[in-house]
């Protein structure tokens, strides 16, 4: 939906659990990590990428102004560098005209840009290209400048960039940039922080007023990594703030960066997404190892990228997360609260569930095709309606109606094995909810 039909501004909901448009309508954050978008793609390539992501149901594109992969010393496709003499107070207008184009194109397709003013190696090199160029003073100046440039666009500001806060100076630099942005935008745009792997923004910045919602990076170290623990940790913090996984395991990324471990696939993508969403997240981010770096055969691959990015657009995980969004939006999903009480113990772990606060529906994610017993006593309505949602295909299968009862056993379709995942949906029949329309 274009921004001529909806407000381009977002805010935190009144209950502080999710994001809404300025008119109060719920906003489903479905992001894609396109870190090198401004740095590596031509305008025609950016058009292709953005049109693909919009067609699959994404709502946020996460990209970096001062990019990670030699973003200060290797030009964009038009021969332009972002800064003059690597000085954040002296920007190259020609470079940012290209950034303008991409952000405007995204907006024309109904996409927010999750804009990182810089990657983290520019304030804490730690590893990567660097160099470190930010001080507290020039971070404030740069934050003010870039906020003024994009204050009228559909932007979500994402500070940080995959590096740790290791010193007081690091924290002061980030806060200076954040406050430079906030002083310009007021409350018209949201700000968060993208941390390094296995960390969350709440560790350092939860109580900072500029941080509107928490973002964590569950990362790429292992299959079946319980990213929902990060979600629940931040979900239960006070003051209450929305939370989401801003960088989970990427599709086609080698497990723990070693190809002998195999590659994460679309099941790994779905598992991380449903685990986090049913644990109280306000949205989720997809990533593909080939797409974030826009790898093609004439470029040096990072971490074993091996699929040209245009081919990687066809990988199934991205489409399947579009199905997930459609499933959630077919119900008043902002009412869904994490609720493991409704799930009786199963032989396999990590069945995750959420129950609407008014009892009108429940979602139960079953990752391995197991049989589960559900406590239905807290669902509303004298008659319930149950059905299966296939997160791989978006296809629904009706189980049927039944009178309210305390417990009922459900057997997921097919055999029990890792990757035979299903979502059980149980509705209060009197609500007459519709099935999701998963045509992407």
Question: What is the reported pLDDT for 23?
Answer: 93
> Distance (Å, rounded) from C-alpha 17 to C-alpha 243?
8
Question: What is the reported pLDDT for 2?
Answer: 53
CATH of domain 10-329: 3.20.20.80
- Whole-model pTM: value is 0.97
Residues 6+ apart with CB under 8 A from 359: 378, 379, 380, 381, 428
Give the single-character DSSP code of 263: B
Question: What is the reported pLDDT for 1?
Answer: 45
- Residues 132-191 have pLDDT tens digits of 999 999 999 999 999 999 999 999 999 999 999 999 999 999 999 999 999 999 999 999
Three state DSSP letters for 80-130: CCCEECCEEEEECHHHHHHHHHHHHHHHHCCCEEEEEEECHHHCCCCCCCC
Query: Does the pLDDT at position 101 exceed 90?
Result: yes
Q: Do the beta carbons of residue 211 and residue 158 sit within 8 Å?
A: no
Question: Can you spell out the DSSP letters for 61-81?
Answer: EEEEEE-TTTTTTS--TTS--
pLDDT band of 108, cuts 50, 70, 90? very high
Query: Does the pLDDT at position 256 exceed 50?
Result: yes
Three state DSSP letters for 275-306: HHHCCCCCEEEECECCCCCCCCCCCCCCCCCC
pLDDT band of 42, cuts 50, 70, 90? very high
Query: Does the pLDDT at position 52 exceed 90?
Result: yes
Query: Does the pLDDT at position 255 exceed 80?
Result: yes
> Distance (Å, rounded) from C-alpha 202 to C-alpha 196?
12
Question: What is the reported pLDDT for 8?
Answer: 74
Question: What is the reported pLDDT for 3?
Answer: 57
- Does domain 333-431 fall under CATH 2.60.40? My reply is yes
- Residues 275-290 have pLDDT tens digits of 999 999 999 999 999 9
Query: Does the pLDDT at position 344 exceed 90?
Result: no
Q: Domain coordinates of the chain in residue numbers? A: 10-329, 333-431
Give me the chain's average pLDDT, please.
95
Question: What is the reported pLDDT for 5?
Answer: 47
Query: Does the pLDDT at position 418 exceed 80?
Result: yes
Lowest mean pLDDT among 214-228, 306-320, 333-347: 333-347
Question: What is the reported pLDDT for 237?
Answer: 98
> Distance (Å, rounded) from C-alpha 167 to C-alpha 136?
13
């Amino acid at each position: 939906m274009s921004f001529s039909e909806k407000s381009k501004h977002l805010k935190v909901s009144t209950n502080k659990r999710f994001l809404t448009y300025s008119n109060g309508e719920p906003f489903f954050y479905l992001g894609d990590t396109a870190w090198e978008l401004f740095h590596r793609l031509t305008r025609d390539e950016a058009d292709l990428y953005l049109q693909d992501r919009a067609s699959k149901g994404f709502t946020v594109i996460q990209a970096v102004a001062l990019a990670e992969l030699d973003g200060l010393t290797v030009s964009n496709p038009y021969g332009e560098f972002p800064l003059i003499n690597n000085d954040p107070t002296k920007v190259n207008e020609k470079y940012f005209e290209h950034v303008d184009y991409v952000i405007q194109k995204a907006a024309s397709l109904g996409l927010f840009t999750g804009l990182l003013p810089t990657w983290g190696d520019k304030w804490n090199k730690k590893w990567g290209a660097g160099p470190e160029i930010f001080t507290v003073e020039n971070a404030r100046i740069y934050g003010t400048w870039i906020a003024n440039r994009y204050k009228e666009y559909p932007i979500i500001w994402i500070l940080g960039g995959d590096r740790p806060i290791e010193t007081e100076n690091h924290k002061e630099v980030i806060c200076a940039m954040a406050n430079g942005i906030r002083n310009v935008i007021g409350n018209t745009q949201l700000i968060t922080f993208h941390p390094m792997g296995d960390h969350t923004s709440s560790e350092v910045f939860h109580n900072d007023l500029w941080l509107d919602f928490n973002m964590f990076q569950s990362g790429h170290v292992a299959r079946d990594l319980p990213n929902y623990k990060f979600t629940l940790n931040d979900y239960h913090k006070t003051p209450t703030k929305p939370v989401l996984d801003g960088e989970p395991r990427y599709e086609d990324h080698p497990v723990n960066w070693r190809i002998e471990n195999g590659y994460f696939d679309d099941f790994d993508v779905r598992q991380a997404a449903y685990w986090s969403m049913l644990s109280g997240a306000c949205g989720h981010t997809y990533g593909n190892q080939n797409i974030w770096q826009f790898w093609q055969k004439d470029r040096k691959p990072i971490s074993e990228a091996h699929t040209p990015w245009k081919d990687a657009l066809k990988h199934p995980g991205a489409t399947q997360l579009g199905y997930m969004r459609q499933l959630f939006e077919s119900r008043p999903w902002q009412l869904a609260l994490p609720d493991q009480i409704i799930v009786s113990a199963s032989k396999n772990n990590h069945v995750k569930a959420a129950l609407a606060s008014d009892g009108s529906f429940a979602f139960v994610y079953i990752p391995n095709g197991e049989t589960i017993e559900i406590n239905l006593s807290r669902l509303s309505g004298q008659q319930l309606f149950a059905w299966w949602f296939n997160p791989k295909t978006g296809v629904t299968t009706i189980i049927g109606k039944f009178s309210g009862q305390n417990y009922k056993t459900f057997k997921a379709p097919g055999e029990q094995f890792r990757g035979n995942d299903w979502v059980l949906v149980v509705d209060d029949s009197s609500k007459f909810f519709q099935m999701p329309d998963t045509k992407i």
